[in-house]
Amino acid sequence: QVQLVESGGGLVQNGGSLQLSCAASGVKLDYFAIGWFRQAPGKEREGVLCIKNNNTGTQYADSVKGRFTFSRDNAKNTVYLHMNNLKPDDTAVYYCAGTPWPVQAMCLSREEYDYWGQGIQVTVSS
């Protein structure tokens, strides 16, 4: 059974930083395409950052470019979302998602992913 579990969320002040982790069980993430998504109250779930299979390309939402980055630790079977200079508009539930199947074009599309974490709250105070 595949599980993705996010951790590291919480409350942070405007301009602060957080690192979210997404640990996998039941599957090796090494060759997966990974997406980080978020959903604010009353809004659609949106992609913020993604990396294609085998690290062949990364895409960012315009709103997070220069502030959010991705990394992975294959030994821990974990991927990370590093969030810097956080703003109140970044407040949302954040989800990691993965798929072993090749993502050809837009990896920020929710439809590309087969596995999802349960989500974790990030709140940025003004």
Q: What is the DSSP string of 79-118?
A: EEEEE-S--GGG-EEEEEEEESS---S-TT-GGG-SEE--
Beta bridge partners of 70: 81
Q: Is the dihedral of CA 13, 15, 17, 18 positive or negative?
A: positive
Which CA distances in Å does 43 have to 5, 39, 48? 23, 6, 14
Q: What are phi and psi of 47, to 5 degrees?
A: -80, 135
Sequence letter at residue 39 = Q
What is the pLDDT at residue 16?
98
What is the pLDDT at residue 29?
92
What is the pLDDT at residue 60?
96
Cα gap 91→48, rounded to integer Å: 12
Cα gap 117→64, rounded to integer Å: 21
Cα gap 55→30, rounded to integer Å: 9
Spell out the per-residue pLDDT of the chain, length 126, in tens: 899 999 999 999 999 999 999 999 999 998 899 999 999 999 999 999 999 988 788 999 999 999 999 999 999 999 999 999 999 999 999 999 999 999 877 899 999 999 999 999 999 999
What is the pLDDT at residue 90?
98
What is the pLDDT at residue 77?
96
